[in-house]
Structure 1
Amino acid sequence: MLLQRARKEKKQKAASEPLQESKTEDALLETEDEHEEFDVGVKSEDDGEEVTKDQLTQKVKSKKKRKKRKNKKNTSAEEDAPPPHSAKKSKNWSENALAHTSSKNADVSAWKNLHVPKVVLKALSFLGFTCPTPIQALALPSAIRDKMDILGAAETGSGKTLAFAIPMIHSILEWQKHQESGAAEGETKEEPTSDVNNEIDATEKQEQDMSENEDVEQVEDNDDVSENFDINFNDMSSSKSGTWGKERPLLGLVVTPTRELAVQVKHHIDAVAKFTGIKTAIIVGGMASQKQQRLLGRRPEIVIATPGRLWELIGERHPHLCNLRRLRCLVIDEADRMVEKGHYAELSQLLELLSEVHYNPKRQTFVFSATLTLIHQAPTRLLQKKRFQKVDKDSKLVSLMEKIGMKAKPKVIDLTRKQATVETLTETRIHCATDEKDFYLYYFLLQYPGRSMVFANSIDCIKRLTSLLTILECNPLPLHANMHQKQRLKNLERFAERESCVLLTTDVAARGLDIPNVQHVIHYQVPRTSETYVHRSGRTARASSDGLTLLLIGPNDVINFKKIFRTLEKNEELPIFPVEPNCMSGTKERVSLARMIEKMEYFNCKAKQQNSWIQQAAEALELDLDDDALIGGQQSEEDERIKQKSLKIMKKQLKQLLSQPIFRNLLKTKYPTQTGKLALPILPASQSETALLTISKQKGKKKKSK
């Protein structure tokens, strides 16, 4: 039947075309359905005459022609219109760090003697990594060829992630080959325990049911972390299903101290495993637990996790985490922080599980950190005691091996320098009172624009600095543990995109993060340990680039400052950062006024929140509330009006001060450097300031000519 064929064609087009066009087609199909019961004689709705079969087919053809004309118009309009903005095209900050070095089809002949797999070499060529770093060149042969455990210590920004990622990928590729061939070399094919098989069978049906609606659920999930950037949860390239396709156990586990570092490690592993088909998943806190369980349901070969959420899912007996005996590679990133007393209790339980219940003698363990071999000098009062045992490098590594459960003779690679910081880093200090730290911080940020990270020891300090610098129009980005994970990653993305920006952060961002082109690191509060100082300072001067770190040392910071530099064995004193005293008066005026505004706004906000809570509690208990019980007591409308008026006046004064230039008579300002080469430009002056500078230059030239 011609009508039925035409109707089928209409339905096929309707399924492939957009929603608006399909509505018009449905209307045509409805008219055709009315005539479907008859073959030849059908009455027309318009004039009541009978329509023959040929006439009906001509009508259908004419409708097709009209629709083609409309489609042509729509397609031409779509071609002229600008392409729609897709949120997932923007890159994560860790992808930017990889992208800025990428040059496709680079020469990777320097990697070939390190036993790197061919598919990984292809990815390295795509990324533009022409030659390995020293830590990679020393770690890869021992890990890939000799199957040794690795204890690696190298300075920040030295490429430690690829030093454990490449051997892990090689080990997984070998396992896949053995499974496809049917038998491993000298090994019998392992099978999961009966309990695990039962749990896997029970969850296979759930995975099949969820697979159909997986994409829809991820779009509708309110806890989705990636909105303007892509964490690549679903970027798992499909591999060919061999004999190991159904089994697919967990083969690689990477444990990191922070969520942001876990996200970065995942991006680096995905980049190197681009052509392998290996699946990865990230398991961290602050994200939807159910969504991460679905990700584990896909059976990724590599899992990157923080200790808390990982131990939670192991306790829930997730099928993919039940048989850790088959684990081929275990990585402890930033190990010195992970095994400290009082931190990450879940990690010690996990290590105990892996070394006893799920022990595998053939498992490789990788332990990396920038401060792995850093030894603290004990105070003199302890050294004088007879029973005191002095800790050295060897004893520290032995205790670390015992805690992690490593083999007897691992490969120890120590590329750290005595000073533990890179040569291209310029370290400076400013001694000041605690109340003056805000002045010097604002002076530095105003005088030396760029990508700056400001570290503090407490979240309250970060919150106060955020509101203060926002009032001073510095537009800072906060980052601390009390923030939602989605906002934390957004702020990191914004910081990596902007050329001149300030990131106010706690030690959450101190370790491992590779944010490109960080020029300055400011220690608003001196860190409590030397390891933290090294890792904080390591956010700048990465990959042989220049950088500067500034310590703001108050009276309460002197003890920590002396401990740090005694441990780092720095004989020479740090140079004092140069400050122009003539410019400090204008800086202090601005900051003092901003402080007053910040205190008033903070008090008003806190009072409103507290009063609303008290009123809600009184209403719930059906109590009569006196005005004296509220914060601020009885305040008339006149008093409130006076406060708001004074606040407006102060904001107006601050706006006038911000419009005036501070650095009026400065021509050149340089950092105190050991080489004398590192010097960044001062803040761009206003038109009046540039005019004054040009006049002063012309006068100087005239005097010389005379």
Structure 2
Amino acid sequence: MGVGLKRKLKAASTSRKRVKTSHGNSDNLPWKMVARPLETGMADDDGILELEEVDNVEVVYEDTDGGRVVRFNVVRNEEEQEENVDEKLSDDAREVEDYPEPEPFDSLNLLPDWHAHALHPQLLAVLHSKQFSSPTPIQSAALPLAFAGRDVVGVAQTGSGKTLAYGIPILHRLLSSARQRAPKSKRSLSALILAPTRELALQVSSHLNACLNAVGPKSDGESNEPRPPPLVSVAAIVGGMSAQKQRRILDRGVDVLVATPGRLWDIIEDDDGLAAQVRSLKFLVLDEADRMIEAGHFAELENILRLTLRESRDDQIEPEGDTAELPQDGLQTFVFSATLSKDLQRNLKRRSRSKANPKSKAASTLDDLLLRVDFRDPSPEIVDLSPEGALVSTLKESKIECLSTDKDVYLYYFLLRYPGRSLVFLSSIDGIRRLLPLTELLNIKAFPLHSQLEQRQRLKNLDRFKSTPNSVLLATDIAARGLDIPAVDHVIHYQIPRAADAYVHRNGRTARAMREGFSMLMCAPDERRVVRALFGSLGRDESAVPEMDIDLTLLDQFKARVQLARQIETANHKVKKANHERKWLREAADALEVEIDSDMMSDSEDDEKPTAQQRKASESKNAGLKAELRRMLAKPLLARGVSTRYITSGSQPIVDDLLAGEFNEKIVGVKKSDAKDDLVAGKRRKKKGKAGRVDAEEWKGVAE
């Protein structure tokens, strides 16, 4: 049901039934009677059906622990809403004199590295407050070109500050010209930023808005005076959220729009005014461009980019020589990504029939960009600061070679051995659904993130992961690009990525902004060919990646817990599957308004339907397994040589580590350490305890 019109059928002869909502009884809503349309084919005196509507009421369905809840949000009646919109537009387009002059900022002394760029005082104040004392390499290279009006294609490692590399020039120009806006005029779209994922679009919008917020005493929120609207407004348009709210935001007018191609094109199709604004853009940005221009992806992007094309390319006279002036039709284009190579996008699991010439240079996706993006600059400036081999200097890589069936055990070992925020990447949603119940049974705080979750739940899980120490995020590759999640300690490739660029972007979630990070690749025997192809695409040798130092004496204890958790989950899954099938059949029958035959219901279940006694026995067995798992989890994991009675005895006394605070809280007898410090050096693998050291080949034989 859309905003402004809510219709409901009711029996005239009976009392009205209202839906209980999370905001109270729906009788409190401003219902009003409306005429029944003639198409119903019913006489007016039948008294069977009546129609009601509620103006400006938005219906929201929210999933809670008690099930799906209907919530009504009363916006306002039409007159109040129109007055509010008029007031908002009036505030947004207030007289220039109402905006105070920006306070000067002493960039020469406070931010000497930024002084040469002559930025707007608002941007300088924000950079100083956030302690961005100097531009990053990609910013230093891109800003002079952007201020000169050039189109820029930037390639730099993840976490290098690409958002501000294009965001600062856009905001600087808009802030500088905002005071020249005509009084009482509606904001017109000046900049469009396109991103491949919803989370990235919301993050970019948040970062740009942070650059426009007041700094200092004015930002503490203690003043009772209403804050003036910002000189420059930034809004995000993404899927999974209310389209009506987003249309209202666009109707009020925005200066900078951050959007995903799908939702933006849905709105443009019904909004000729927005399409006209896109045709007259001043700035166009493609963030993570290589992901959006892949073949078969983001068909809506093609339609949006067509709106930015010059009306007649034949009428354009391309300048010649270095001193020629640039086109002056007002559009400046920025294209940024961490990877811009077709070779990195190649699906590694598909065998190529023709071997590529190793001496030939990898084809650049810049060719694809030139076909799709109408650069006004005849020769866009390319700033390529990507590290050799796509390896960030502060990132430490490692790998674990194990069987596919043992990945759960090694993952559980890693999470307990090296606590911290760990981002675990899987290639399939089914893998996340299988792994999530195991982590819950093993008392690991894990949150899922994949495309089949509602947007509200995706954002909630992201926030929980950011705010929960020693937590795990089980994610597909929608979390691989652009997300700036603070303090991600480990990135774990539980399943091998399908392309090398996905591997690079996955690793980019850690080791950001020159902070240290750790990446671990879990490789099964049948995945070794894919791993070799992955590192070959990066121009590297996979044998150079060190292996993790695993304490094999502890694995039996971990394996017993994981196997028990699997048995419990298998039993739970069978019950859930049977209940789901019965529920689906009943809902389908209700929708078709037919009765289910008892034989049909029995046929839909297993051929050998368990009796009540068998179900009771199964539930009792499952309860026993859960109790056994709880006992296992309550007992501490003990390293080899640790005495279970006295901390001062045994072949490995732990009293010194306990006094020094250098002990692992989950595994008794193991010192606290970072994952990057426990890598195998050379060709030998260390095995803790009495066993001393064993060769790597011997360990492979044990693992396989």
Report the TM-score when normalising by structure 2: 0.68
**Is 1:418 paired with 2:388?**
yes
Match of 1:628 in 2: 602
Letter in 2 for 1:402: L
Match of 1:176 in 2: 178
**Is 1:518 paired with 2:492?**
no
Change in Cα spacing, 1:245 to 1:665, as seen in structure 2 (3 Å) is farther
The alpha-carbon deviation at position 138 of structure 1 amounts to: 0.9
1:425/1:548 contact within 8 Å kept: yes
Aligned ranges 1:541-580 → 2 under 5 Å: 541-571=511-541, 572-580=543-551
2:154/2:383 contact within 8 Å kept: yes
Letter in 1 for 2:297: H
2:195/2:261 contact within 8 Å kept: yes
Tell me the alpha carbon deviations over residues 229-273 of structure 1, each in whole angstroms, 9 at most, x when there is no partner: xxxxxxxxxxxxx51541421001000011111111011111122
The alpha-carbon deviation at position 418 of structure 1 amounts to: 1.4
Match of 1:508 in 2: 478
Change in Cα spacing, 1:305 to 1:690, as seen in structure 2 (3 Å) is closer
Match of 2:684 in 1: none
Aligned ranges 1:281-292 → 2 under 5 Å: 281-292=235-246
Match of 2:115 in 1: 112
Q: Distance in 2 between matches of 1:384 and 1:531?
A: 18
Aligned ranges 1:355-504 → 2 under 5 Å: 355-356=309-310, 361-373=329-341, 375-376=343-344, 381-383=353-355, 392=362, 395-406=364-375, 407-504=377-474
Q: Structure 2: where are the runs of 5+ without partners?
A: 1-105, 215-229, 314-327, 643-660, 672-689, 691-704
Letter in 1 for 2:603: A
Match of 1:259 in 2: 198
The alpha-carbon deviation at position 285 of structure 1 amounts to: 0.1
Tell me the alpha carbon deviations over residues 629-686 of structure 1, each in whole angstroms, 9 at most, x when there is no partner: 132343211011001000000001111111122243489xxxxxxxxxxxx9763147
Tell me the alpha carbon deviations over residues 88-134 of structure 1, each in whole angstroms, 9 at most, x when there is no partner: xxxxxxxxxxxxxxxx9993221111232222112212222111101
Bigger radius of gyration among the two = 1
Q: Distance in 2 between matches of 1:132 and 1:511?
A: 22
Relative to its length, the structure with more strand (as a share) is 2
Q: Structure 1: where are the runs of 5+ without partners?
A: 1-103, 181-241, 668-679, 692-699, 701-706
Partner-residue secondary structure (3-state), 2:144: helix
Change in Cα spacing, 1:643 to 1:164, as seen in structure 2 (3 Å) is same
Change in Cα spacing, 1:537 to 1:377, as seen in structure 2 (3 Å) is closer
Q: Distance in 1 between matches of 2:670 and 2:406?
A: 29
Match of 2:301 in 1: 347
Change in Cα spacing, 1:623 to 1:452, as seen in structure 2 (3 Å) is closer
Tell me the alpha carbon deviations over residues 393-445 of structure 1, each in whole angstroms, 9 at most, x when there is no partner: 5x542332222222321111111111112111111111221111111111111
Match of 1:98 in 2: none
The alpha-carbon deviation at position 617 of structure 1 amounts to: 4.1
Letter in 2 for 1:134: P
Change in Cα spacing, 1:244 to 1:416, as seen in structure 2 (3 Å) is farther
Percent of paired sites with the same residue: 39
Aligned ranges 1:671-690 → 2 under 5 Å: 683-685=664-666
Letter in 1 for 2:463: E
**Is 1:159 paired with 2:161?**
yes
The alpha-carbon deviation at position 559 of structure 1 amounts to: 3.0
Tell me the alpha carbon deviations over residues 212-231 of structure 1, each in whole angstroms, 9 at most, x when there is no partner: xxxxxxxxxxxxxxxxxxxx
Aligned ranges 1:224-373 → 2 under 5 Å: 242-243=181-182, 245-274=184-213, 277-317=231-271, 319-356=273-310, 361-373=329-341
Q: Distance in 2 between matches of 1:258 and 1:444?
A: 29
2:290/2:365 contact within 8 Å kept: no
Letter in 2 for 1:155: Q
Change in Cα spacing, 1:402 to 1:597, as seen in structure 2 (3 Å) is same
Letter in 2 for 1:684: E
Match of 1:675 in 2: none
**Is 1:640 paired with 2:640?**
no
Tell me the alpha carbon deviations over residues 263-312 of structure 1, each in whole angstroms, 9 at most, x when there is no partner: 11011111122356210111000001000001111201000000000000
Letter in 1 for 2:115: K
Match of 1:600 in 2: 571
Partner-residue secondary structure (3-state), 2:284: strand
Q: Distance in 2 between matches of 1:594 and 1:554?
A: 22
Q: Distance in 1 between matches of 2:566 and 2:613?
A: 24
Letter in 1 for 2:665: P
1:255/1:333 contact within 8 Å kept: yes
- Range with greater deviation from structure 2 (437-446 or 555-564): 555-564
2:144 is aligned, of 141, 165, 169, to 141
1:299/1:320 contact within 8 Å kept: no
2:663/2:669 contact within 8 Å kept: no
Match of 2:133 in 1: 130
1:253/1:329 contact within 8 Å kept: yes
Q: Distance in 2 between matches of 1:652 and 1:493?
A: 32
Q: Distance in 2 between matches of 1:318 and 1:645?
A: 64
Letter in 2 for 1:428: S
Letter in 2 for 1:382: S
Partner-residue secondary structure (3-state), 1:323: helix
Q: Distance in 1 between matches of 2:118 and 2:362?
A: 34
Change in Cα spacing, 1:504 to 1:690, as seen in structure 2 (3 Å) is closer
2:188/2:255 contact within 8 Å kept: yes
The alpha-carbon deviation at position 489 of structure 1 amounts to: 0.7
Change in Cα spacing, 1:402 to 1:604, as seen in structure 2 (3 Å) is same
2:178/2:232 contact within 8 Å kept: no
Tell me the alpha carbon deviations over residues 580-611 of structure 1, each in whole angstroms, 9 at most, x when there is no partner: 11100011100011011111111101100101
Q: Distance in 1 between matches of 2:136 and 2:297?
A: 31
Partner-residue secondary structure (3-state), 1:322: helix
2:280/2:308 contact within 8 Å kept: no
1:469/1:475 contact within 8 Å kept: yes
The alpha-carbon deviation at position 318 of structure 1 amounts to: 5.3
Q: Distance in 1 between matches of 2:309 and 2:641?
A: 63
Relative to its length, the structure with more helix (as a share) is 1
2:136/2:160 contact within 8 Å kept: yes
Match of 1:209 in 2: none
The alpha-carbon deviation at position 324 of structure 1 amounts to: 1.7
Q: Distance in 2 between matches of 1:684 and 1:315?
A: 57
The alpha-carbon deviation at position 548 of structure 1 amounts to: 1.0
Q: Distance in 1 between matches of 2:359 and 2:332?
A: 31
The alpha-carbon deviation at position 618 of structure 1 amounts to: 4.9
Q: Distance in 1 between matches of 2:557 and 2:207?
A: 46
Q: Distance in 1 between matches of 2:547 and 2:234?
A: 47
Partner-residue secondary structure (3-state), 1:621: coil
Letter in 1 for 2:167: A
1:334/1:368 contact within 8 Å kept: yes
- Structure 1 runs (4+) greater than 6 angstroms displaced: 377-380, 688-691
Partner-residue secondary structure (3-state), 1:504: strand
Letter in 2 for 1:317: D
Q: Distance in 1 between matches of 2:300 and 2:551?
A: 50
Aligned ranges 1:9-20 → 2 under 5 Å: none
